Chains A and B, each alone.
Chain A
Amino acid sequence: MTVDAPTSMSADIGASHAEIGHREAGMPTPLVGMLLFIASEVMFFGGLFAAYFNARAAFPGEWGPPPPAHALEMLPIALPLTLVLVASSFTMQFGVWAIRRGDQRALRNWTAVTLLLGVMFLAGQLYDYSILGFGIGDGVFGTVFYTLTGFHGAHVFGGAVGLTILLARSVQGQFSARNHVAVEAVSMYWHFVDVVWIALFTTLYILG
């Protein structure tokens, strides 16, 4: 049995140069990347949540913020902040729907509103920190509380930076019904940050 050298390659070409490259079907590659990145972020927050529940289960004393603070004040600040962030998810999505229709103006407006809500959330959270009366070094509760909310806040900040870029680009009219992958990517991320907050709010404020 002899082995032929592949002499007649050109006669049997599977794909030409033009065909090699991105697959057009399915989700755009940047969105796939964003989804994967969010998956890793889920695990990151999963690790922090696991730390929270483990710390809570293993804590020898009564769980909660150190005295004199008794329980986290849910209603005055945390609940309004939650509503702000949840609302911002809706405004973000309205922007996405707008640009899918090709409405650049509505995208710009909704992005601006979303950014404003995000900044409001951050400001509110900083205010909350300033009046809580305990710090990150005040026992296990202080540590997990500030670590969880702090890292969430950092992610909101990252999202706000993304929104700012989005706003600048939409002001310049860079997005259209066909070309708005960046809008979809930022909105995915923003929704994720919102979902993390809902989980945090439930864990820290409702379950206590």
Chain B
Amino acid sequence: MATTTLAPRAGTWRQSWVIDWLTTVDHKKIGILYIVNSFLFFFAAGVLALVIRSELMVPGLQFVDEATYNQAFTMHGTIMIFLFVVPVLSGFANYVVPLQLGAPDMAFPRINALSFWLLPLGGILIFSGYLFGGAAAEGWTMYAPLSNARYAEGPGTDLWLIGLTLVGTASILGAVNIIATVFKMRAPGMTLFRMPIFVWTVLATATLILLATPVLTAGLIALFIDRNYGGAFFEPSAGGNPILWQHIFWFFGHPEVYIVILPAMGVVSEILPVFSRKPLFGYRAFVFATIGIMLLSFSVWAHHMFTTGQVFLLFFAFMTALIGVPTGVKMFNWMATLWRGSLEFTTPMLFALGFITMFLIGGISGVMLASPPVDFHLQDTYFVVAHLHYVFFGGSVFGVFAATYFWFPKMTGRRLNERLGKVHFWIHFIGFNLAFFPMHPLGISGMPRRVADYSPDAGFTLWNIVSTVGAFMIAISVLPFLVNLVATLINGERVGDDPWEANTLEWATTSPPPPYNFDRLPPIRSERPVFDLRHKHDAEHMAAERRAPEEGTA
């Protein structure tokens, strides 16, 4: 049990195993704790999603009343965003970034443990509203004055605010740690422009978290003061301003979208080159596009507020349109990476390609919403629900599954079963599109979001049935995934240190890596040190080929 920095305690093996995981400061174990914890919340949020979809399948209230429904979608959104997608990607960042940099651990291992343990605490607080007369029910955007004490009675909303403050603090501490790790812990030879793209995207994400999340914290505290100490920030009757909440929330909320999508883009940018056997096309362009998105994301928040009539429409429309440019550059670079590659369709590659195709739809609907007149029609309809799920779920969650299948052999030494993985992908992919594509036509024909019910005469029924069927397909797709996890952990194929013939440093150590990660490091002379090592003879060969181009290709 020499796998942590702590000496094994006295007692039985089982006790020491539990204490070991509860007290670990090893970034790899903390990363796995993040991932496991996030998936538990993912399943909880998924159950809530099924409640929502069951209720909406046909007109009328069949299963839950309005209050329960409103709690369900509020908690679903909150948990999926704050307790699944963001932390699960933090988990992969925790596990992978030090390895990819050739570092022994994060810069601040103990703060790393703290920032993990705040998460389940915050999550339980958010959930515990259900025990005290009902969870928060004002939507994950928590708009004032609906969230003021007068309209949102009971402790559910207060618990939501406190829990989210903890979760936010956790992610700020995590971001400090990631940035310090990137700048202070890189191995010799690992210059900034040799860092894997995943590290770049995680760095950009951490910067966004560091600068955007504290603003949300300020807003959460302000709302808490309004609710509990007679404050008047957002209270119209005392001269407060409800729109202020929207500004604060979205100043954080839009960078949050990129907090969620950038690391998933990074995952995809690691996976595509490996299974195309080519370097990522336009590495530097990709880095600059990432930085561009990061900077622009602070100037687009009010596109969530076009219909308030109180924002400078043309400025925010212009900035929002501009953010499509670096995103487009990334899309082109991914396409060019596939071009003339040697593509192998493993499960992580399928999820990565799924990410590209689904994120494209989310990106296009996003550019449509950037046009204020179009947004006047589509804002707060199911079109927006479709858009955000194509970005968060078709984008980020596909990226999460890609990362899970890709790095599972590194974490355990065993590869997840490919056949089950492909079953998972296809049910998931088809179910996803059945569930969420119909939400576009629903929104376009005028179905508002966050309604518990709709009129049978509105013509929404057919699409809602399709969508509910798709939601249950997504739920079913989780079964082969879980079976695969358990079966592989018990009896999976042992595949060695580098089963995918990958490029980056995490594959240069053992699977799973030893404490402090590396006994030795290969030389780092490009962004693909392990590739260079594997092909160092080929490199000379190819140089010779280039000198005689036509002869070598026969």
A residues bordering B, Cβ < 8 Å? 1, 3-6, 9-10, 12-17, 19-23, 26, 29-30, 32-33, 36-37, 39-41, 43-48, 50-51, 54-55, 58-61, 135-137, 139-140, 142-144, 147, 151
Given A21-B185, A51-B248, A139-B238, the answer on whether A147 and B231 have CB atoms closer than 8 Å is: yes
Q: Complex: how many Å from CA A12 to CA B533?
A: 9
Would you give the shortest CB distance from B356 to chain A, in whole angstroms?
Answer: 27
Can you list 29 A-B pairs with a CB-CB distance of less than 8 A? A1-B541, A4-B535, A4-B536, A6-B533, A12-B523, A14-B187, A14-B522, A15-B188, A17-B518, A19-B187, A33-B108, A36-B180, A43-B212, A44-B214, A45-B218, A47-B219, A47-B251, A50-B215, A50-B248, A51-B233, A54-B244, A54-B247, A135-B230, A137-B230, A137-B232, A140-B232, A143-B226, A147-B221, A147-B225
Task: Judge if B104 is at the interface, Cβ distance under 8 Å.
Answer: yes
Contact of B521 among A14, A43, A46, A47 (CB under 8 A): A14
Given known A40-B213, A44-B217, A51-B244, contact A140–B188 (CB-CB < 8 A): no
User: Whole-angstrom distance from the CB of A188 to the nearest CB of chain B?
Assistant: 14
B241 touches A54 (CB 8 A): yes
B111 partner residues in chain A, CB cutoff 8 A:
33
List 6 A-B pairs, minimum CB-CB distance, nearest first: A137-B230, A47-B218, A14-B523, A44-B214, A47-B215, A143-B231
Q: A14-B521, A20-B521, A50-B248 are in contact. Are A44 and B218 (CB under 8 A)?
A: yes
> B102 near A15 (CB under 8 angstroms)?
yes
Which residues does chain B contribute within 8 Å of A20, judged by CB atoms?
102-104, 187, 516-518, 521
Which of B104, B210, B520 is the one whose CB lies under 8 Å from A13? B520
In the assembled complex, which residues on chain B have CB atoms less than 8 Å from the CB atom of A135? 230
Query: Which residues of B are interface residues toward A (Cβ below 8 A)?
Result: 102-104, 107-108, 111, 172, 175-177, 179-180, 183-189, 210-219, 221-222, 225-226, 229-233, 238-241, 243-244, 247-248, 251, 501, 516-524, 529, 533-538, 541
In whole Å, how far is A95's beta carbon from the nearest beta carbon of chain B? 25
Closest to B231 in A: A143
| Cβ-defined contact, B214 with A47, below 8 A | yes
B189 adjacent to A14 (CB under 8 Å): yes
Query: A13 → chain B, closest Cβ, in Å?
Result: 5
Residues from chain A with Cβ under 8 Å of B524 in the complex: 14
Q: Which residue of B lies closest to A143 (CB)?
A: B231
A47 touches B226 (CB 8 A): no
**Shortest beta-carbon distance from A9 to chain B in Å:** 7
Contact of B185 (CB < 8 Å), options: A22, A43, A55, A144: A22
Known contacts A20-B102, A147-B222; is-contact A14 B541 (Cβ 8 Å): no
**Residues from chain A with Cβ under 8 Å of B518 in the complex:** 15, 17, 20
Contact A17 B520 (CB under 8 A): yes
User: How far, in whole Å, are A51 and B523 apart by their CA atoms in the complex?
Assistant: 51
Besides A1-B538, A17-B520, A36-B179, 6 new A-B residue pairs in contact (Cβ under 8 A), listed by A number: A4-B537, A12-B523, A14-B522, A15-B187, A17-B519, A55-B241
B214 touches A43 (CB 8 A): yes
* CA–CA, A16 and B518, complex, Å: 9
Q: How far is the CA of A147 from the CA of B230 in the complex (A)?
A: 12
Q: How far is the CA of A37 from the CA of B115 in the complex (A)?
A: 13
Contact check, A32 vs B183: say whether CB atoms are below 8 A apart. yes
Bound: A144/B239 CA distance, A: 12
A55 touches B233 (CB 8 A): yes
Tell me the bound Cα distance from A136 to B226 in angstroms.
9
Interface pair A33/B215, CB less than 8 Å apart: no
The CA-CA distance from A151 to B186 in the complex, in Å, is: 36
Among B102, B184, B244, B523, the one with the most A-chain Cβ atoms within 10 Å of its Cβ is B184
- Nearest-neighbour CB distance to chain A for B507, whole angstroms, equals 10
Assess the A19–B538 pair: CB atoms within 8 A.
no
Shortest Cβ distance from residue B543 to the other chain A in the assembled complex, whole angstroms: 13
